[in-house]
Structure 1
Amino acid sequence: MPSSSSLVSPPVHPSRSAAAVPGSAIRDLLRLTETPAVLSMAGGLPATELIPAQRIADATAAAVGDRDLLQYTASAGLRRTRESIARHEAVAPEQVLVTHGSQQALSLLAAALVDPGDVVVVDDPVYVGAMQVFASVGADIRGLPLTEKGIDVSLLARWCADGLRPTIVHTVTAFHNPGGVSADAARRRDLAELADRHGFWVIDDDPYGRLRFRGDVPAPTRSFGDRVITLGSASKILAPALRVGWLIAPPQVVALVERLRQSADLCGSALCQAVVGDLLDDTDWLSAHIAAVAGAYSRRAHALVAALDDVFGEAIETSVPDGGMFCWARLPGVDTTALLDAAVGHGVAYVPGQAFSVRRDLSDRLRLSFATLTEDQLRTAAGRLHAATAAG
C-alpha cells in the first residue's frame, strides 16, 4: 500500500455548477483569525457562553434513552418536532419541513424551484450563503440595493412593472446579515402582495428574528400573502451544533422539497430534532433564555456602537441594531479590504463589505459582529480598529 507521501492527487474537473459557486471570504477569514491575540468581530457565531449547555444535556439524556430516536425518521422531519415548530411559529404542521440547518432548506428550495437562467433577486449586500446557493443552480442573480429600512420593495415593483419576472426573491427581513436593518410590517405586506401579483416566491430567511432587543415585533411576512416561504433555525437561539433548521411553506412546496431531500441525505437526525422539539415546547424556559440572550446582545451592541462613535467620531457611519448579531458600518474613503491586514496586525478582525457585494461598490463598508465579545472586549476592539485605520 503506498504511503501518503507517495500519493499523487489526480486532476479534478469541477462541474459547471460547482465552478459557479463563489468561495466565502468569511470562512477564509475565520481561519486567519483563530488566535487569542485577535479580537474577532468577523464571525456570525452566537455567544458560546450563552448556549444553554445544561438544558441541552438534560434534553439529550432524555432523548437518547428512546431507541426510536436512534432510528431513521421521515424526510420531512420527526412528526413531534414538526408539531413543536408549528406551535413555535403559529402554523400548521403540514407547512413545516425540518432540515439540517436552515442553509439546507435554502439549498433544497433553490434546487426545487429554480432552473438555470431563472432570475433570482437578492439583497445587495447579500447573505453570502444565499449567493452561493443560487449560483450553484445557475440562477441569474440580480442584486436589489438594501435600504435603511430593509428590502427596497418600491424599486422591486418598478423592476416588475418593467417586465422582470423573478422566480424567487430572497431577503432577510429581520436584523439583516450583514446590513443589520429590518423591514417593518408595511414593507413586508407590500412584498408579499407583490409576490402574489407577479407570481414569484419570497424566501424570508429569518434566523435572527427572535433576537429582538428594541422595538415592536412586526407580523411575519407570510401572514400577508400565499407565496412566502419562511426559513427558521435553532442555531442562533439554542445551539449551532444541533443542526436543526426548518422551512415553513404551503404544503405543496413542503411535499416537493421533501421528495428532493430524499436524494440529499434521506432524513435528518431524529435525536437532534427531538432535543430541539423538547426545548421549543418548554415555553417558559425558552422565553427566559431568549430574553437573556437578547439582553446580552443589546448591551454588547450598545457598547460597540458607542465605542465606535467615541473613537471615530464623524469618520464612521454605523447602523444602530434593534436585534440580531451584526452592525454594518461605513468608513468613507477607506478600502476595508486593503485595511484588513493592518487591522489583524493590530489585533482586530471584521469582514470587509465587498465580500457581501452582488454588484454594488461596498469597498468602504464592514460587517462587525458584536455577539461573541464582551462589552469591554468590544470597546478594545473599536480602539484597535481605529488605530489600524490611523496607521494606514
Structure 2
Amino acid sequence: MVRVVFLHPDLGIGGAERLVVDAAVALRSRGCSVQIWTAHYDPHHCFSETLSPDLPVVCVGDWLPTSVFGYFHALCAYLRMIYVAFYLIFLSGEEFDVIFCDQVSACIPVLRLSRHRKKVLFYCHFPDQLLTQRRSLLKRLYRAPIDRLEEVTTGMADRVVVNSRFTAGVFKQTFPRLSGVKTDVLYPSLNFSAFDGEVDDIGGLVPEGRSFVFLSINRYERKKNLPLALQALAALRERVAKKQWDRVHLVMAGGYDERVLENVQHYEELRSLATSLGLEDRVTFLRSFSDKQKVALLHGSTCVLYTPSNEHFGIVPVEAMYTRCPVIAVNSGGPLESVSHEETGFLCEPTPGSFSEAMKHFVSDPQLRQRMGEAGRERVLKYFSLEAFTEQLYNHILSLTH
C-alpha cells in the first residue's frame, strides 16, 4: 500500500482545495493510504468528503498568523507551511512514501530533510508570484526574495505537474531557471457522484417567475472580476424585451471567509454596485454556500457566467458543463481548454457588451440551454472524468515510489 500525505495551506472550499480533496479520494480508491495536512481547517467550512473518517485531516500551525497588521500574507503563508512540513517530518511520527504538495513550494526543502528522503510531487495551480500586484517599490523589494525562493524550491520537487497547457506555458516563462524541469499536464476532474444525487429546488434562492437564471460562482475576490457579471446583467436589460427581462435573475454565489478582509469588503462593494445599477431585485447574493446548494444552482440555472481573465484553469466551467449548464467565460486562460466556443458555451471578451450579447442568446432561444448542455456533458465525460484523472495521478505516484 502506497502511503501519500497531502500538504495544503488552507483547506477551505476553493478550486485548489477541490482538486486536493478529489486527488485524495482518487488515490484512496486505488488502495492508497491518504492523509491531508493543513495549517487551517474548519469542519463547518469545508468539502463534505473531508468529514469522513476515511479521509483524515490533520491541522497544525493554525496559531501562526496569516498576516501582520494586514500585511505580509505571502510570508506568513510560507512560514505556516514550513511549520506544517517540519511538524510532519520531525514531530508526527507518521510513515509515508510520497508527499503531494501544492500552492506553497517553500516547504519542500524541509520535506527533503526526512531521514529516508521521500519523494515530493508538486502540483502547480499557477505561479504564486503572478497572483499579486507590485505597485510600490516597497512591495517589489518585499516580493523579490519570496519570488526567488518560490522558483528555487519548486525546482526541488521530484515531479511537477500543472493544471493546464496554459499554466505549463506560464510556468516556463515565469521560472526561466527551471527550463529543464518537465511539467506534465494533469487536468482537474470531477467526482461525478457529488453531482448525480438528489437535486434540491432553487426556488428559495430565486423569486418566482424568474426562469432565466444566470449564475456566477467564484470567491469574493477582486481578481475574479465579479463586477463584470453585474455590469453584463445591466447591459442585458437594454438588449431584451421587457417581458423577457421580467424573467431574468442573477445569483452571485461566492466563497466567503470572514477572516479574509478582501472577502468582506468585496462583498459589500458588489452589493453597492448592484444598487447603483438598479439591480437590487434582480440579484441574489449567496455566501459560503453548501455543496447541495451549489449542485442545485448548477442544475437549475440557465447559464454560468465565469468572469476571471487568465484563470489558470477554473473548475467551475467543468462542473457546470457536467450538470448540462452552458458557460459564458472570458476567452483567455483555462476556459480556452475547457469550454468549446459556440458548442458548450461562449468565450467572450471581458466586457459587459460581449457577455450580455452571449446572455441574450439564451433568453431569445430557450432551447439553447438544452443543446449546449448536452454537448457540455459529453465534453466533460470525454476529457475531465475522475477515472482519467485517477489513472494519471496514480501512475505519477507509483513512478515516484520505484
| TM norm structure 1 | 0.33
| TM norm structure 2 | 0.32
Higher relative contact order (CA 8 A, sep 6+): 1
